[in-house]
Amino acid sequence: MTKQNMVVADAKTGINMAISMAVSGSSLFTTAAQRPPPAAVPGPYITISRINNGARINAWVDSMRASSPTRIKASSLSDDQDSWILRHPSALDMFEQITSASKGKQIVMFLDYDGTLSPIVDDPDRAFMSEAMRATVRKLARYFPTAIVSGRCRDKVYSFVRLAELYYAGSHGMDIKGPSKGSKYKKGAQAVLFQPASEFLPMIDEVYKALLEVTKSTPGARVENNKFCVSVHFRCVDEMKWSELAKQVGSVLEDYPNLRLTQGRKALEFLLESLGYANCTDVFPVYIGDDRTDEDAFKVLRERGQGFGILVSKIPKETNASYSLQEPSEVMAFLRRLVGWKRMSLRRQFRMRRRLEEIKVSLPN
């Protein structure tokens, strides 16, 4: 995927909202969040550069074609697969190493939704998770702080998952809400509601309406308003029409000459801060996702040397993730194993405490 972020700097909050052009398995246009650049211009501003040029359009389309299911199925990847697996081994095979690295730290789970907890489907409104997966995630949240991270609208993701004990981060971290009772893991933590880009909602809605208008002539194109994020889905669009669709999206952004393109976002850092784990050395984040939009989080974890990223993919991809899983069924197996490991650890700790108490009682005064 190629991605360009258009940053809106807000002097009042010191937080940037990035509206990014993204090409992935699901969307062309999305929003994200990032920390302000070191030399941010004081005062609110909105700038954008021209993006509707042939070279960039071709790059988007080439990236989409490379990741399309038909190209993937037609490729012979056995040699590449073996080499890639050596560099990104299965998280199931490396489970003991992962749990050993977390010793003495609080594991915090970050889970993408589409393609990670649910299968990828043509109709994004039918990306339902199984009851077995829901039960697994519910058990996971009993033992670890757990956040669902998605480019979708937070309310939409919640309607799929329906677990009130989780944290939900919609629009790639620009809309975060936690359990109403606060965190049971972090003393003093309150219910989380993080929406730094609320004042820009009218602009997002304006872009959404414009995209609806320009893409209606492309059969199969679908525009989704995710509140702080607008996505243009191309899964049901004829591949011969992808260049046309990309140009249509670019033409809309041409009407916003005051936005400036930059790159990158670090929604994971906002999430850790919102969950009360900013700058904590005793936290161990595990982020599981399947899409290019998860790579920023993988990169943050690798650069911090704290926690691990796990990519969900059946094919070799360039990634900053440390480990891999092939599909949602393997994700569920990994989560179940993690729950079982934690349960056994707590039982051992309980037995050890009881034994120490018994020894203490039996000692002479």
Q: What is the pLDDT of residues 245-268, one digit of tens each?
A: 888 887 887 775 544 333 334 567
Looking at residue 234, what is its pLDDT?
77
Choose between 150 and 194: higher pLDDT: 150
Report the relative pairing of strands 45-46 and 29-34 from DSSP bridges.
Answer: unpaired
Confidence of residue 331 (pLDDT cuts 50, 70, 90): very high
C-alpha 20/C-alpha 7 separation (Å) is 8
Mean pLDDT (the chain, rounded): 75
Q: Are 4 and 51 in contact (CB under 8 A)?
A: yes
Confidence of residue 226 (pLDDT cuts 50, 70, 90): confident
Looking at residue 63, what is its pLDDT?
58
Q: Are 193 and 170 in contact (CB under 8 A)?
A: no
C-alpha 309/C-alpha 325 separation (Å) is 11
Looking at residue 49, what is its pLDDT?
31
Distance of CA 343 to the CA centre of its chain: 27
- Tokens standing for 289? 């996702």
Q: Is 71 left (phi over 0), alpha (psi -120 to 50) or beta?
A: alpha
Choose between 25 and 318: higher pLDDT: 318
Q: By C-alpha distance, which of 290, 293, 292 is closest to 328?
A: 290
**Domain-wise residue ranges, the chain:** 3-74+197-262
Most confident option among 12-26, 35-49, 89-103, 284-298:
89-103
Choose between 22 and 225: higher pLDDT: 225
- Could you please report the per-residue DSSP string of 74-128? HS--HHHHHHHHHHS-BTTTTHHHHHHHTTTSEEEEEEESBTTTB---SSGGG-P
First vs last C-alpha separation in the chain: 70
Lowest-confidence segment of 60-64, 109-113, 350-354 by average pLDDT:
60-64
Q: What is the pLDDT of residues 154-192, one digit of tens each?
A: 999 999 999 999 999 888 777 888 886 655 655 555 566
- Could you please report the per-residue DSSP string of 13-32? TTEEEEEEEE-SSS-SEEEE
